[in-house]
């Protein structure tokens, strides 16, 4: 009997470990059950929460939440079903432009492939907190802490003060300055420790998405101060050059508010004169996603609008600016 109980307990632990590391990559959403399957990376257990107790968790597929014509989320449906944190997290999931099947990923491996060795390691990771991992990976630098060999507090300190080159490249691939890894890691550790104190001493309910947003904002503020002098030195050597004759240049930009995102496209000729301008509302999203949406819209305008010069060529420029509206 004792052997049978031990076997059942070990099986339960293995099952829990596998569940803790499995998450779907959303494709067409036809194989993912909204309430039962893990599919939202930034949420606890990778599952969304209902808006309130009146929401019936009947069988529902993720495909019913997607507008398959525009390849965007049906925001109105999300707001009807889920709480605010879940809605914001789901909207961060970028849907593929070309239809593809859903794929179950193993989040504890960089390539998402399940390995027995990785599963065994995950079962031994008693020192790692799932919320801390969500903060590291859910932020824009997407660091997988489970891939790091850290056996003591001293190892963590060495990692922050002298990060290896490959880690710096991974964290800073979307940043201007390649030497800010230590600053980013220090601010992330501070955010995790602050969250821990709030939960332990204040009984605060954890909202991972809010913590990540606040952390990313603090990192940007510190980077602006840290890189201010280098930025102005770069600006001194920047100057405008006239475009080749017959080229039409598209400038795109995006402005972000809590309720919606505004996309703007401006067309200019080689002399800098404005030929046309377009603007439209877009769903709320991150700055990087907003800029990508603006650039994609500019490409659509080129193919859809009868707006061209005889013998003209198109050029594009992504300004890379996102303003937070009041």
What is the tens place of the pLDDT at every residue in 25-46?
A: 999 999 999 999 999 988 878 8
pTM: 0.40
Distances (CA, A) of 235 to 91, 172, 176, 230: 35, 21, 14, 9
CB 212, CB 138: distance < 8 Å: yes
Q: What dihedral do alpha carbons 94, 100, 104, 109 form, nearest 10°?
A: -70
Kindly state the helix (H) or strand (E) to which residue 288 belongs, with its residue range.
helix 287-304
pLDDT of residue 82: 94
Q: Please count the CA atoms within 13 angstroms of the CA of 112 that sit on its side-chain side.
A: 7
pLDDT of residue 7: 38
Kindly state the helix (H) or strand (E) to which residue 204 belongs, with its residue range.
none
Scored b (16 or more CB within 10 A) or e, 184-193 reads bbebbeebbe
pLDDT of residue 75: 93
pLDDT of residue 139: 67
Number of neighbours of residue 70 by Cβ within 10 angstroms:
10
CA-atom Rg of the chain in angstroms: 23
pLDDT of residue 299: 86
Instruction: Outline where 162-269 has alpha helix (H).
Output: 165-171, 181-202, 208-226, 228-236
Give how far the C-alpha of residue 61 lies from the chain's centroid of Cα atoms, to the nearest Å.
22
Residue among 105, 72, 69, 107 nearest 91 (CA): 72
The per-type count for the chain, helices as H runs and strands as E runs, is: 11, 8
> What is the rounded CA–CA span in Å between residue 90 and residue 38?
12
**In this structure, what are the phi and psi dihedrals at residue 227, rounded to the nearest 5 degrees?**
-105, 10
> What is the rounded CA–CA span in Å between residue 170 and residue 141?
7
Residue ranges with strand state E in the chain: 22-25, 66-67, 72-73, 103-106, 247-256, 261-268, 274-282, 313-324
Tokens at residue 219, please?
């990192």
Strands 103-106 and 247-256, how do they pair?
A: unpaired
Strands 313-324 and 247-256, how do they pair?
A: parallel
Residue 153 three-state SS:
helix
Q: Which residues of the chain have pLDDT under 50?
A: 1-10, 126-128, 174, 176, 309-326
Distances (CA, A) of 277 to 19, 241, 249, 250, 267: 50, 21, 12, 9, 6
C-alpha angle with apex 95: 93 to 284, nearest 5 degrees?
55
> What is the rounded CA–CA span in Å between residue 265 and residue 262?
10
Domains along the sequence of the chain with CATH: 1-125 (no CATH), 127-239 (no CATH), 247-324 (3.30.420.10)
């Amino acid at each position: 009997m004792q052997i049978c109980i031990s076997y059942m307990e070990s099986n339960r632990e293995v099952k829990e470990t596998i569940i803790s590391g499995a998450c779907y990559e959303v494709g067409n959403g036809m194989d993912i059950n909204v309430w039962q399957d893990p599919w939202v990376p930034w949420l606890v257990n990778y599952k969304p929460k209902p808006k309130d107790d009146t929401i019936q968790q009947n069988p529902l597929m993720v495909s019913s939440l997607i507008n398959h014509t525009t390849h965007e989320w049906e925001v109105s449906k999300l707001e009807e079903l889920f709480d605010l944190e879940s809605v914001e997290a789901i909207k961060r999931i970028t849907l593929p432009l070309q239809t593809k099947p859903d794929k179950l990923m193993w989040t504890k491996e960089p390539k998402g492939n399940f390995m027995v060795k990785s599963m065994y390691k995950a079962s031994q990771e008693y020192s790692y907190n799932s919320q801390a991992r969500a903060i590291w990976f859910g932020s824009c630098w997407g660091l997988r802490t489970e891939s790091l060999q850290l056996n003591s507090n001293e190892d963590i300190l060495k990692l922050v003060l002298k990060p290896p080159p490959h880690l710096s490249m991974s964290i800073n691939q979307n940043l201007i300055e390649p030497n800010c890894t230590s600053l980013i890691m220090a601010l992330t550790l501070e955010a995790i420790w602050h969250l821990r104190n709030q939960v332990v001493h204040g009984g605060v309910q954890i909202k991972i998405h809010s913590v990540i947003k606040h952390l990313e904002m603090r990192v940007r503020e510190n980077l602006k101060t840290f890189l201010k002098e280098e930025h102005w030195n770069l600006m001194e050597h920047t100057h405008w050059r006239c475009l080749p004759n017959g080229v039409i240049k598209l400038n795109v930009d995006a402005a972000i508010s809590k309720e919606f995102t505004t996309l703007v496209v401006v067309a200019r000729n080689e002399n800098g004169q404005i030929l046309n301008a377009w603007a439209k509302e877009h769903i709320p999203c991150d700055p990087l996603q907003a800029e990508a949406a603006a650039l994609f819209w500019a490409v659509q305008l080129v193919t859809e609008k009868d707006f061209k010069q005889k013998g003209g060529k198109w050029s594009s420029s992504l300004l890379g600016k996102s303003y937070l509206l009041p």
